[in-house]
């Protein structure tokens, strides 16, 4: 429950006494319970007083006070019912609209919550809580539609029907978890009138090698007393324990303070007060120690802060030194609301819970990173956050894994401990090696996977031509396939920009050595100069010759359509083929590996199975079937001019074919 989590007493102004002495005594008794933080007890007293008065205005005030009690013990639905009841009866207090909206937001009733925030904005236009509430409704809708990859699951081994929250590690190997519980059987074993639950203690559970957790047991009497203890944290070695406790100060008042205990053998030593403020009457709670033990973050409602509960920090020169004067963290972190349950990660990120920043409802988990002298605060999103309270997080050092607290819908009782983890992004490549001409699969092909991260892996295709590779995030890859009788073929892919795990399917085509292969080069009409858009295909050809197939020699051939004279087409095709050879030589390919020839219009294009498959997916190209030869007679018989022009464009092509496979590169010959 909210009050139990924050562990503090919120004092509000008592409502006006009734005109009659009897009524006044009943209301005074309820007010006294309320003003001393015994909200659970106050609910019944206010309800009883409400049934005995007949003044409408006073009835509304009692309804409002009852609603406040439910709000403070985090009974969201009951709070919403009673605030709504006050509104329907015409209460003049505008806070009824704000608090009703908060309850609706926590119940995921976003549109109705918006309406109440808007009504409150009309009544109190200068209060930015209305704007924050409206923005939170929009944020909650967007966050649930775009969740993070985190997996959040309840820890059934820890959780009871009462409140279980604020976990931390009791060993540096994470095999022991401490957490706060208000279940029956705690040391005090009495009901806390503030919350209606048992006084809280710190319990522990241990996991064995099989992953099974032991039944939770309380820490010793050096830690737990008949009053509240909770919100523990440990240092890096888990041999110093800090925790929140309610104890009697030197003036005899019960005050929330931070205590520290050192490990003594397998037990904890006597708890000692950690004095951070000069006065021991100031509420101090929720300790979080930095990994170097030089900073202690905590929560207090001390005056001079930004709002209700703020996060403060005190520092020291050495792990055994005295703590310095506390500093209030900046307004970038602390708001007019509550900032509670800090946790300082080893990497310098501060995690905390807040109901003052834009969130999904109740307390949300936030992370804050220091950029220069400024803090950048980010909501951790859904499912780390829900419409209810989410708080009290702890991590396993460098891993994005740990535990947190929440009273979301799938909680077993009140607050529960949940485990969270961010699964690694995994990419699986299913590759199928195929014959480029026939489309048939190729077994026993050698496939080399090369990654920009240094990956260099070789596998062989199975009988069905398939094989698998595990890919890494944020990496560019090239795959090169080789098989006797085929030209080496390659395919590129990348996992950069992919934020979700994914199975990737790709085909890698190997051209038969005895088959011509198309080079997608482009020319202006009647010219042989290479156009800029040809550069991609030509650079791929350079890579095929230089990197993938350094031992082959090739013939470059160019073809035209049948329009124009045969002599002109022959000359044009020769010049075009020659222009490609000159480009390859310019890019470092040995001239003796290259020959060129122009075939003019003599060799019309034949559609391969792979090409037919691709054309079937393209508008206006689906008439091109496997085995069709684009002869002059075939083209002239096509029914439309568009189809004829497509056929002409396919005849105007440049190809290469392998003429030898035993070429020895010059550099290798020189080294012999």
Residue 393 has pLDDT above 90, yes or no: yes
| Domain-terminating residue out of 118, 145, 172 | 145
Regarding pTM above 0.85, the answer is no
Residue range 110-160, pLDDT digits in tens: 999 999 999 999 999 999 999 999 999 999 999 999 999 999 999 988 899
Query: Confidence band (pLDDT; 50, 70, 90) for 21?
Result: low
DSSP string, 84-124: HHHHHTT---THHHHHHHHHHHHTT-HHHHHHHHHHHHHH-
- What pLDDT is attached to residue 314? 97
Closest CA to 1 of 104, 106, 74, 99: 74
Answer whether residue 269 shows pLDDT above 80. Answer: yes
Regarding predicted confidence, which is higher, 242 or 485? 242
**Domain co-membership, 472 together with 458:** yes
User: How many CA atoms within 13 Å lie on the side-chain side of 656?
Assistant: 28
For range 451-475, the mean pLDDT: 96
Q: Give yes or no for residue 352 having a pLDDT over 90.
A: yes
Sign of the CA dihedral running 363, 364, 365, 367: negative
Judgement on whether residues 234 and 322 belong to the same structural domain of the protein: yes
CATH of the domain at 155: 2.120.10.30
Checking 244-249 for CB contacts under 8 A at 24+ apart, the result is 244/7, 244/284, 244/285, 244/286, 244/287, 245/271, 246/7, 247/273, 249/280, 249/281
Count: domains in the chain: 4
Q: Minimum mean pLDDT among 401-405, 438-442, 661-665: which range?
A: 661-665
State the maximum Cα–Cα separation within the chain, in Å, rounded to a whole number.
121
Q: Tell whether 162 and 221 lie within a shared domain.
A: yes
At 667, the pLDDT band (50, 70, 90 cuts) reads: low
Which CATH number is 487's domain given?
2.60.40.1120
Percentage with pLDDT > 90 across the chain: 71
pLDDT in tens, 613-633: 889 999 999 999 999 999 999
Say which residues have a Cβ less than 8 Å from residue 174's Cβ, sequence separation at least 6: 396
164 plus 298 within the same structural domain: yes
- pLDDT tens digits along 155-190: 988 899 899 999 999 999 999 999 999 998 899 788
Q: What pLDDT digit, counting tens, does each position of 208-225 carry?
A: 988 899 999 999 899 999
pLDDT score, position 19: 44
Q: What is the pLDDT of residue 254?
A: 86
Partnered with residue 229 across adjacent β-strands are 245
Residue 669 has pLDDT above 60, yes or no: no
Q: What is the pLDDT of residues 422-432, one digit of tens each?
A: 998 999 999 99
Residues 287 and 405 in one domain: yes
| pLDDT mean over 514-538 | 81
* Residues 148 and 381: beta-carbon distance below 8 Å: yes
Q: Do 259 and 129 sit in the same domain of this protein?
A: no
CB atoms within 10 A of CB 517: 18
Cα(49)–Cα(25) distance, rounded to whole angstroms? 9
Q: How confident is the model at residue 528 (pLDDT cuts 50, 70, 90)?
A: confident
Averaged pLDDT of the chain: 90
Higher-confidence residue of 520 and 288: namely: 288
CA contacts within 13 A on the Cβ side of 97: 22
**How do residues 76-119 score in pLDDT, each as one tens digit?**
899 999 999 999 999 999 999 999 999 999 999 999 999 999 99
Q: Which residue in 231, 226, 239, 175 sits closest to 203, CA to CA?
A: 231
- Claim to verify: residue 362 and residue 453 sit in the same structural domain: no
Per-residue pLDDT at 671: 44
- Are 459 and 547 in a shared domain? no
Residue 622: give its domain's CATH number.
3.30.1330.60
Q: Is the pLDDT of residue 479 over 80?
A: yes
* Token pair of 390 as six digits: 């989410």
Domain boundary among 510, 529, 546: 510
Give me the pLDDT at residue 503, please. Answer: 95
Claim to verify: residue 284 and residue 376 sit in the same structural domain:
yes
Host domain of residue 54: 2-145
Residue percentage of the chain with pLDDT more than 70: 96
What are the tokens at 443?
Answer: 């077994």
202 and 309 fall within a common domain: yes
As to burial, measured by CB atoms within 10 angstroms (0-12 exposed, 13-18 middle, 19+ buried), residue 269 is middle
Our measurement of the distance from residue 338's CA atom to the centroid of its chain's CA atoms, rounded to an integer in Å, reads 24
pLDDT at 326 > cutoff 80: yes
Note the pLDDT of residue 16: 34
- Please check whether residues 460 and 350 belong to one and the same domain: no
CATH code for the domain in which residue 130 is found: 1.25.40.10
Shared domain check, 457 and 363? no
**Burial of 100 from C-beta contacts in 10 A (0-12 / 13-18 / 19+):** buried
């Amino acid at each position: 429950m909210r009050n139990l989590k924050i562990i503090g007493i919120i004092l509000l102004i008592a409502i006006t006494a009734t005109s009659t002495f009897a009524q006044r005594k009943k209301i005074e008794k309820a007010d006294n319970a309320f003003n001393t933080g015994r909200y659970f007890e106050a609910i019944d007293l206010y309800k009883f007083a409400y049934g005995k008065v007949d003044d409408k205005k006073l009835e509304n005030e009692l309804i409002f006070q009852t609603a406040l009690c439910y709000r403070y013990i985090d009974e969201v639905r009951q709070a919403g019912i009673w605030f709504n009841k006050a509104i329907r009866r015409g209460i003049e207090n505008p806070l009824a609209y704000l608090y009703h909206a908060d309850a609706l937001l926590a119940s995921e009733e976003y549109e109705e919550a918006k309406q109440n925030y808007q009504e409150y904005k009309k009544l109190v236009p200068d209060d930015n809580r209305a704007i924050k509430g409206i923005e939170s409704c929009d944020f909650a809708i967007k966050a649930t539609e775009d969740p993070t990859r985190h997996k959040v699951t309840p820890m059934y081994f820890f959780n009871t029907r009462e409140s279980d929250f604020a976990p931390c590690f009791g060993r540096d190997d994470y095999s022991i978890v401490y957490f706060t519980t208000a279940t029956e059987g705690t040391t005090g074993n009495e009901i806390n009138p503030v919350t209606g639950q048992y006084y809280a203690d710190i319990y522990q559970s241990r996991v064995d090698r099989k992953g099974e957790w032991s039944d939770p047991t309380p820490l010793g009497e050096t830690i737990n007393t008949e009053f509240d203890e909770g919100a523990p944290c440990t240092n890096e070695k888990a041999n110093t324990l800090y925790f929140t406790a309610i104890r009697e100060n030197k003036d005899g008042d019960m005050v929330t303070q931070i205590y520290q205990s050192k490990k003594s053998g397998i037990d904890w030593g006597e708890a000692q007060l950690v004095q951070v403020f000069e006065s021991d009457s100031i509420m101090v709670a929720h300790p979080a120690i930095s990994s170097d033990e030089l900073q202690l973050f905590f929560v207090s409602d001390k005056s001079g802060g930004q709002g209700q509960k703020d996060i403060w920090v005190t520092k020291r020169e050495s792990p055994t030194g005295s703590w310095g004067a506390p500093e209030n963290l900046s307004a970038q972190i602390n708001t007019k609301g509550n900032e509670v349950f800090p946790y300082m990660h080893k990497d310098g990120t501060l995690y905390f819970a807040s109901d003052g920043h834009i969130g999904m409802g109740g307390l949300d988990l936030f992370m804050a990173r220091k950029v220069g002298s400024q803090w950048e605060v980010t909501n951790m999103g859904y499912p780390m956050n829900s419409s209810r309270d989410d708080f009290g997080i702890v991590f396993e050092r460098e891993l994005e894994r740990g535990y947190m607290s929440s009273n979301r819908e799938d909680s077993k009782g009140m607050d529960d401990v949940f485990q969270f983890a961010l699964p690694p992004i995994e990419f699986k490549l299913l590759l199928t090696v195929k014959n480029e001409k026939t489309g048939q699969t190729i077994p026993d092909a050698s496939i080399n996977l090369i990654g920009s991260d240094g990956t260099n892996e070789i596998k062989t295709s199975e009988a069905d031509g398939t094989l698998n590779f595990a890919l890494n995030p944020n990496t560019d890859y090239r795959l090169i396939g080789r098989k006797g009788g085929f030209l080496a073929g390659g395919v590129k892919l990348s996992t950069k920009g992919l934020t979700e795990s994914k199975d990737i399917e790709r085909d890698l085509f190997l051209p038969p050595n005895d088959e011509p292969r198309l080079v997608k080069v482009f020319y202006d009409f009647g010219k042989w100069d290479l156009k800029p858009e040809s550069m991609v295909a030509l650079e791929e050809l350079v890579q095929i010759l230089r990197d993938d197939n350094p031992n082959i020699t090739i013939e470059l051939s160019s073809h035209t359509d049948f329009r124009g004279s045969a002599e002109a087409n022959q000359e044009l095709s020769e010049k075009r083929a020659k222009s490609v050879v000159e480009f390859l030589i310019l890019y470092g390919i040995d001239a003796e590996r290259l020959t060129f020839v122009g075939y003019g219009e003599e060799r019309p294009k034949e559609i391969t199975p792979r090409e037919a498959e691709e054309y079937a997916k393209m508008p206006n190209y689906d008439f091109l079937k496997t085995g069709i030869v684009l002869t002059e007679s075939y083209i002239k018989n096509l029914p439309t001019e568009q189809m004829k022009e497509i056929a002409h464009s396919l005849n105007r092509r440049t190809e290469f074919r392998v003429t030898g496979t035993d070429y020895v590169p010059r550099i290798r010959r020189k080294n012999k």
